[in-house]
Amino acid sequence: MEAILQQTPRGLYCARGDFYVDPRFPVARAVITHAHSDHARWGCHKYLAAKPCEHVLRLRMSADAEFQFLPYGESLVMGGVEISFHPAGHILGSAQIRLEYRGHVVLITGDYKLGTDPTCEAWQPIRCHSMISESTFGLPIYRWPSPESIFQSINQWWRECRDEGKCCLLYGYAIGKSQRLLAGLDPTIGKIYCHGAVEKGNQQYRRTGIALPDTTHVSSVARKHDWKGSMIVAVPSVHGTPWVKKFGCCSTAMASGWMAVRGARRRRSVDRGFVLSDHVDWPNLLTAIDACNPETVWLTHGCTASVARYLNEHGRNAKILDALGRTEGDEDATGAGFDSTTEELPSS
């Protein structure tokens, strides 16, 4: 890896190509895995990303920035380093970045998941010499149930709330998670409304050709609207704020991989917790590493020590790459460039 990338206070830097990969701070040229703000920093001068990421990335960034987008699988060369993007399965436009220099291949996974998701292209294995992998949920306790079973549970919860005269308030991050939730909802149960930050993300997903059910922006509804039987998809940061009071009697739920941990729902103070993550779980992390078959695995962003120890004990060469202060998990609406706690507060 060291022949292509060096770790610096600003993030992973390729001196030959003079670019950073998912930098921590604004830089002149950033190569981006996906549009969440812990990977795509606001304020860079130039951005290079996968073509399907275009609309969600432009939504978050300054209009003064310069953008270049590559279709998955196509490549360009900077300073002798060949760069290409390959589907990561995390959110719309998320990509693994493949760097090749003089026959040596480094793969930066960014955030990724295996399996099917109708809102983004599925992860693809890429053979490499060095693999830099996230390990957010890199412990054996994290084993995701099938998405089909989770959406059955979510829709059943919605039906029960409708029959009890309640509305449902379902929390998911504004870009990625909320759209995945929407794609799995059964719109025959009732009407679907969205927080403004989620609705902005919906618009960009639809522009890219992703099919989502019809949704209505919460703020476009009359003040004394009857919310009974409806589903409201919102960002987690509004939970417990005055924005929620307008809905009257409602049941709340959070969709996240962290819901797999006992007590997480209680700490979030929500009624239900649904285990739905856009990151690899423990078995799929191991599957991905085996499929890419690197000589060296560098672990970052999560349970690095546990994963490295397991891999080394099972014959792989694994090392820890310091995430340099990068936050864990997905981005909420504030992190994605939206002021989610004040955008739709009811007027006094």
User: Is pLDDT at 337 greater than 50 in this prediction?
Assistant: no
The CATH number covering residue 95 comes to 3.60.15.10
Task: Output 57-61 pairs: Cβ under 8 A, ≥24 positions apart.
Answer: 57/32, 57/93, 59/35, 59/200, 59/201, 59/204, 59/337, 60/35, 60/336, 60/337
pLDDT at 62: 79
pLDDT at 330: 52
Indicate if 305 and 257 belong to the same structural domain. Answer: no
- Residues of the chain above pLDDT 70, percent: 93
Q: What is the 3-state secondary structure (H, E, C) of the chain?
A: CCCCCEEECCEEEECCCCEEECCCCCCCEEECCCCCCCCCCCCCCEEEEEHHHHHHHHHHCCCCCEEEEECCCCEEEECCEEEEEEECCCCCCCEEEEEEECCEEEEECCCCCCCCCCCCCCCCCCCCCEEEEEECCCCCCCCCCCHHHHHHHHHHHHHHHHHCCCEEEEECCCCCHHHHHHHHCCCCCCCEEECHHHHHHHHHHHHCCCCCCCCEEHHHCCCCCCCCCCEEEECHHHCCCHHHHHHCCEEEEEECHHHHCCCHHHHHCCCEEECCCCCCCHHHHHHHHHHHCCCEEEEEEECHHHHHHHHHHCCCEEEECCCCCCCCCCCCCCCCCCCCCCCCCCCC
Indicate if 253 and 282 belong to the same structural domain. Answer: no
| Residue 125 pLDDT class (50, 70, 90 cuts) | very high
Are 42 and 343 a contacting pair, CB within 8 Å? Answer: no
pLDDT tens, position by position, 3-58: 899 999 999 999 999 999 999 999 999 999 999 999 999 999 999 999 999 999 99
Residue 122 is part of which domain span? 6-141+278-320
Identity of the residue numbered 57 = L
pLDDT at 323: 57
Mean pLDDT score of the chain: 91
Query: pTM for the complete prediction?
Result: 0.91
Q: Please state the rounded mean pLDDT for residues 186-196.
A: 98
Residue 340 lies in a domain: no
Task: Name the more confident of 107 and 61.
Answer: 107
pLDDT tens, position by position, 293-326: 999 999 998 999 999 999 999 999 999 997 554 4
Task: Starting at the earlier edge strand, list the strands of the sheet with 231-234.
Answer: 216-217, 192-194, 231-234, 167-171, 250-255, 272-274
Residue for token pair 């209680």: 266
Domain finish residue from 247, 274, 301 = 274
Identity of the residue numbered 294 = P
The CATH number covering residue 233 comes to 3.40.50.10710
**Separation of alpha carbons 42 and 65, rounded Å:** 9
Tell me the pairing of strands 29-31 and 231-234: unpaired
Indicate if 266 and 282 belong to the same structural domain. Answer: no
pLDDT tens, position by position, 201-257: 999 999 999 999 999 999 999 888 999 999 999 999 999 999 999 999 999 999 999
Residue 191 lies in a domain: yes
Residue 182 lies in a domain: yes
Indicate if 55 and 151 belong to the same structural domain. Answer: no
Q: Tokens for 270?
A: 């929500």
Domain finish residue from 213, 246, 274 = 274
Residue 286 lies in a domain: yes
Q: Please state the rounded mean pLDDT for residues 149-156.
A: 98
Lowest mean pLDDT among 165-169, 263-267, 291-295, 326-330: 326-330
**Separation of alpha carbons 106 and 25, rounded Å:** 22
Residue 326 lies in a domain: no
Q: How many structural domains does the chain have?
A: 2
- Residues of the chain above pLDDT 90, percent: 85
Residue 337 lies in a domain: no
Residue 38 lies in a domain: yes
Q: Tokens for 66?
A: 């310069």
Are 33 and 97 a contacting pair, CB within 8 Å? Answer: yes
Indicate if 23 and 109 belong to the same structural domain. Answer: yes
Indicate if 294 and 239 belong to the same structural domain. Answer: no
Identity of the residue numbered 130 = S
Indicate if 104 and 200 belong to the same structural domain. Answer: no
Task: Name the more confident of 230 and 268.
Answer: 230
Indicate if 73 and 195 belong to the same structural domain. Answer: no
Residue 329 lies in a domain: no
